[in-house]
Every structure is written in structure tokens, then in C-alpha cells.
């Protein structure tokens, strides 16, 4: 039996020495052990409550709860990404600015016609090789990051090449086409992962608005920047002689490309809701051919897109036509870019609501009409040269670029929106990759427009573009009249 002893405090029974030592060690150990804090149950409850409320929001239908949590942030960053890159497209438009750059370097019409082909084929062709690599992946952002570095590097090297190789136009032409081709191919590699992320982040009911806002604010900035563009291109305003004026333009574009890609890279990519099985390149091609045979909507959409791609045969020659045939001064390019960007800006009020509600047939028919108006106006306006001053005709020729901007706005907002509507989530990479590869092969035909200009002239080329747009309108009748 333990003996009772009076404690030092004067009362009670003193504990046995082994027990007291054990309690002392426990107290010391407790001071050294840091227990994890209790979970903040109210904040966890609010998070669950927010997910439940978001899932009931009809504007967020079609995406996962994880994507819904970050939908506002991703939406804003995605719009910022599109705004900046739309501005880039306006500043280095292949059909206007870069066409004049090649013309000033002494490049042939064939090289001028090659510009939009490189831009389009670079976007479309790589996707057939990327589709098998990303199908079945829960996350695809790392593909986008790689191409961002490549595109910024290409623009930086192009700026340096324009400064250092200005005295040797042949070398500068070679450097330009090599770097611009890599720049375009990098964009194509990122295209399919980007669309895959858009399909996960942006709800179907908001995609029309999403693409519309990207185009709208990008066009606003392009219109505001048209004066700056004119200052760069006009040697009188800035004092920079050719090609240093273009070098300054390319330097600005390098910064903008870095900002545009960076804004998308900080979005929060959700995990894919449907894990599609991986697919080989051979199986993808086989499946794509099968879809063309069996899926009427997909087949009709592909035929119309092919015809519209062929109708772009005249796109790079409208600005060259104004300079060579109509005698327009170089600085009028600022007006043409402003007209194109302003029309793309205004078109958002039309294409955005249509993209959210209209049928695929209505959307595509509207696109075809806007494309057809470009060669129509290019054929009609020069006929007034006999009765009106040259300056008036040159200014009126901006209407061609107004319709071109309308068509470009339609392509940016509607084509991707329709494709995401047609392609099921489980095979989205297959649908998009196969279609874009076919379009990439078709787009290699329009560079022959440069040879046609040398043989038959500008007018015959514009007529050919109009006939191809008419054929595309006939093909739209095979598309569905209901919204999928």
C-alpha cells in the first residue's frame, strides 16, 4: 500500500514517484507535439453549399462542380486571353499587314498567298497528331504551356531578325517564313488542348457569350490600336524606316503574345468528367472516316468548312489590290485594319446571341453570307473609279474589310461553338482533330491564288472566291435545323 504523504502545498496525498514521472513526461511531450487544428466546419459547409447552389444554376449546366467553383475566374481569364490574342491577330493580320511586309521585301504574289495558308494549316494540321496524345488525359494544360514558350520565342527572334537582316531582304524573307511557320504550328498544337479546356471550363449556355466577349473587346483594342499601327507603318510619322518600323511592331506583338498566353495559363483546369479511352493515330483516322460516313451533321459541317476555306483564296490580295491597282498609299492600311476590327467588334452583337440560341444551319448560313460579301464588294467598288476621285474609291474600298471583319468575327465565335455542340465529350478529340486535319490539307490550295493573279488577274480570283461561297451556301441546306 502506498504511504500517504503530505504534499508541498500542505494538503492531499503525494503520488508515487513512477506515476509522477510518467505524467511529467506526458506534459513535456505534449508541449513538443503540435496537433493539427480542428477543421473549420462552417467554411467546409459553405463550400459544399456553394457547390450545390452552383449545380442548380441553369447557366452552369454541362460542367462539373469543380469547374463551377472556378467558373467566374476562368471565364474572365479566358476572355482576357482572347482579347489580347485577337488584338495580336489584328496587328499582324496575314491578309493585310504581313502581306504588305512581304510585298515591301520584294516577295512574289505566290509568297503573299502562302501567308494565310501557313496561318491556317499551322493551326489545323498538327491537331491530328495531338488528338491521340490528349484523348483520355484528365489534364491538358501542360501542352498549352509548351506552345506558349515557343510562340513568344518566335516573335522575339522575328523582331531581332527584322532589325539585323534588313539590308538583305532575301535572308529576312527566309527567316520570316521559318519563324512564322513555327509560330503557326505552335498555335495549332495548343488549339486542341485549348478547346478541350474550354469545353470543361465554360458551360454550353455561356460559350456563345464567351467567344463573343473575346472577339468584342479584342476588336475594340484593335480599332484603338489602328492609329498606332498606321504610325508604325508610315515612315513619316515615326521616323522609323522600313523594316525598322515593322521590327517595332513585332516587338509590341511579342509582349502581347506573352500576356495573352500567360492569362490562360493561370486558369484552374478542372479534371475531365469523362475519361475517354486512349486512341492511336491509325484508329483515329479510321474513326474519323467512319464519322464522315455515318454522322450527317458532322459531314455537312465539314463540307461547308472546306468550301469556305477554299473561298479564302482571295483574302491576302485585297490589300495588295488596293495598293497595286487602285494606287492606295501604304498608310491607308491603318484605315483597313480599323474597318476590319471595327466590323468584327460590331458583329459580336449579332454572332454572340446567335451562337447561344440559333440552329447550326442558321449559324453557318450567316457565316457564308458574310464571307460572300467580301468578294462582291471587291468587285463592285473599283467600278466607281471612272466617276469618282481615287482617294474616294480607296477610302470606299474599306468596305471590303468591313465585310472581312464581319466574316472573321463569325469564324471566331460560331465555328468553335458549333464544333463543340456537334462533337460528343467522349470523342471530342477525334471529331475536332480529324476535321481540322482535313481543313489543314484543304487550306494548302489557296496559295495557288498568287499564281492565278499572275495569270488571270485579281478580278478572276475574286469571282472564283464568290462562286465557292455560293457552293458553301448550297451545302448548308444539309445541316440540322434544331439546336443539339
> Three cell numbers at 482?
434544331
pLDDT (0 to 100) of residue 14: 57
Q: Could you report the per-residue pLDDT of 192-221, keeping only the tens digit for each?
A: 788 888 888 888 777 778 877 887 788 788
- What CA–CA distance (Å, rounded) separates 186 from 145? 11
User: Are residues 209 and 59 in contact, defined by beta-carbon separation less than 8 angstroms?
Assistant: no
- What CA–CA distance (Å, rounded) separates 6 from 403? 103
Sequence-distant (6+) residues with CB within 8 A of 329 are 394
pLDDT (0 to 100) of residue 99: 82
End-to-end CA distance of the chain: 88
- What CA–CA distance (Å, rounded) separates 293 from 299? 7
pLDDT (0 to 100) of residue 259: 93
A 10 A CB-CB count for 61 gives 13
pLDDT (0 to 100) of residue 387: 79
A 10 A CB-CB count for 470 gives 14
3-state secondary structure of 47: helix
What would the mean pLDDT of 410-434 be, rounded to a whole number? 72
- 3-state per-residue secondary structure call for 327-372: CCCHHHHHHHHHHHHHHHHHHHHHHHHHHHHCCHHHHHHHHHHHHH
- What CA–CA distance (Å, rounded) separates 410 from 352? 9
What would the mean pLDDT of 130-158 be, rounded to a whole number? 86
Of residues 276 and 240, the one with the higher pLDDT is 240
pLDDT (0 to 100) of residue 47: 46
- What CA–CA distance (Å, rounded) separates 202 from 78? 9
pLDDT (0 to 100) of residue 44: 43
> Three cell numbers at 171?
535572308
- Is it the case that residue 431 has pLDDT exceeding 70? yes
3-state secondary structure of 376: helix
pLDDT (0 to 100) of residue 202: 84
Q: Residue 33 CA to chain centroid, in angstroms?
A: 53
- What CA–CA distance (Å, rounded) separates 194 from 81? 11
What is the residue whose three cell numbers read 476588336?
219
Q: Residue 464 CA to chain centroid, in angstroms?
A: 28
Q: What are phi and psi of 269, to 5 degrees?
A: -75, 125
Q: Could you report the per-residue pLDDT of 367-406, keeping only the tens digit for each?
A: 888 889 999 999 998 888 777 787 888 888 888 888 888 8
pLDDT (0 to 100) of residue 283: 80
6: exposed, middle or buried (C-beta count within 10 Å: 0-12, 13-18, 19+)? exposed
Helix and strand numbers (H, E) in the chain are 23, 0
pLDDT class for 257, splitting at 50, 70, 90?
Answer: very high
Phi-psi region of 106 (alpha: psi -120 to 50; beta: other; left: phi over 0): left
Global pTM?
0.63
- Is it the case that residue 26 has pLDDT exceeding 70? no
pLDDT (0 to 100) of residue 8: 46
pLDDT class for 162, splitting at 50, 70, 90?
Answer: very high
pLDDT class for 361, splitting at 50, 70, 90?
Answer: confident
Sequence-distant (6+) residues with CB within 8 A of 430 are 131, 135, 279, 284, 287, 288, 291
Sequence-distant (6+) residues with CB within 8 A of 28 are none
pLDDT class for 35, splitting at 50, 70, 90?
Answer: very low
- What CA–CA distance (Å, rounded) separates 432 from 337? 30
Amino acid at each position: 500500500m502506498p504511504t500517504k504523504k503530505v504534499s508541498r502545498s500542505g494538503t492531499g496525498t503525494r503520488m508515487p514517484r513512477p506515476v509522477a514521472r510518467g505524467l511529467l513526461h506526458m506534459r513535456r511531450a505534449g508541449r513538443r507535439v503540435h496537433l493539427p487544428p480542428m477543421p473549420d466546419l462552417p467554411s467546409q459547409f459553405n463550400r459544399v453549399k456553394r457547390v450545390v447552389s452552383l449545380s442548380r444554376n441553369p447557366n452552369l449546366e454541362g460542367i462539373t462542380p469543380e469547374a463551377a467553383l472556378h467558373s467566374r475566374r476562368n471565364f474572365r481569364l479566358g476572355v482576357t486571353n482572347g482579347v489580347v490574342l485577337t488584338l495580336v491577330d489584328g496587328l499582324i493580320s496575314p491578309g493585310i499587314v504581313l502581306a504588305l511586309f512581304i510585298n515591301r521585301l520584294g516577295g512574289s504574289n505566290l509568297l503573299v498567298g502562302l501567308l494565310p495558308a501557313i496561318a491556317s494549316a499551322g493551326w489545323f494540321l498538327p491537331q491530328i497528331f495531338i488528338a491521340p496524345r490528349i484523348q483520355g488525359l484528365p489534364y491538358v494544360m501542360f501542352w498549352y504551356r509548351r506552345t506558349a514558350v515557343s510562340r513568344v520565342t518566335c516573335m522575339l527572334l522575328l523582331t531581332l531578325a527584322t532589325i539585323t537582316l534588313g539590308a538583305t531582304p532575301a535572308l529576312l524573307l527566309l527567316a520570316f517564313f521559318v519563324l512564322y511557320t513555327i509560330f503557326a504550328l505552335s498555335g495549332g498544337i495548343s488549339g486542341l488542348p485549348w478547346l478541350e479546356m474550354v469545353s470543361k471550363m465554360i458551360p454550353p449556355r455561356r460559350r456563345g457569350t464567351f467567344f463573343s466577349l473575346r472577339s468584342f473587346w479584342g476588336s475594340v483594342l484593335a480599332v484603338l490600336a489602328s492609329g498606332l499601327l498606321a504610325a508604325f507603318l508610315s515612315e513619316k510619322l515615326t521616323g522609323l524606316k522600313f523594316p525598322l518600323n515593322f521590327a517595332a511592331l513585332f516587338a509590341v506583338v511579342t509582349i502581347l503574345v506573352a500576356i495573352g498566353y500567360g492569362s490562360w495559363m493561370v486558369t484552374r483546369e478542372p479534371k475531365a468528367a469523362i475519361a475517354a479511352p486512349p486512341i492511336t493515330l491509325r484508329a483515329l483516322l479510321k474513326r474519323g472516316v467512319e464519322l464522315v460516313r455515318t454522322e450527317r451533321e458532322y459531314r455537312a459541317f465539314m463540307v461547308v468548312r472546306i468550301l469556305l476555306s477554299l473561298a479564302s483564296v482571295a483574302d491576302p490580295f485585297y490589300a495588295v489590290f488596293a495598293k497595286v491597282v487602285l494606287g492606295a498609299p501604304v498608310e491607308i492600311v491603318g484605315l483597313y485594319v480599323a474597318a476590319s476590327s471595327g466590323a468584327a467588334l460590331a458583329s459580336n452583337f449579332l454572332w454572340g446571341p446567335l451562337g447561344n440560341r440559333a440552329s447550326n444551319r442558321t449559324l453557318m448560313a450567316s457565316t457564308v453570307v458574310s464571307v460572300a460579301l467580301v468578294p462582291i464588294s471587291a468587285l463592285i467598288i473599283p467600278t466607281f473609279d471612272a466617276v469618282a476621285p481615287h482617294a474616294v474609291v480607296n477610302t470606299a474600298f474599306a468596305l471590303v474589310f468591313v465585310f472581312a471583319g464581319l466574316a472573321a468575327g463569325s469564324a471566331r465565335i460560331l465555328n468553335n461553338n458549333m464544333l463543340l455542340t456537334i462533337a460528343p465529350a467522349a470523342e471530342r478529340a477525334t471529331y475536332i482533330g480529324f476535321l481540322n486535319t482535313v481543313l489543314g490539307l484543304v487550306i494548302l490550295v489557296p496559295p495557288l491564288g498568287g499564281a492565278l493573279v499572275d495569270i488571270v488577274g485579281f478580278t478572276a480570283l475574286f469571282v472564283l472566291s464568290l462562286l465557292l461561297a455560293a457552293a458553301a451556301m448550297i451545302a448548308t441546306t444539309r445541316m440540322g435545323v434544331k439546336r443539339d
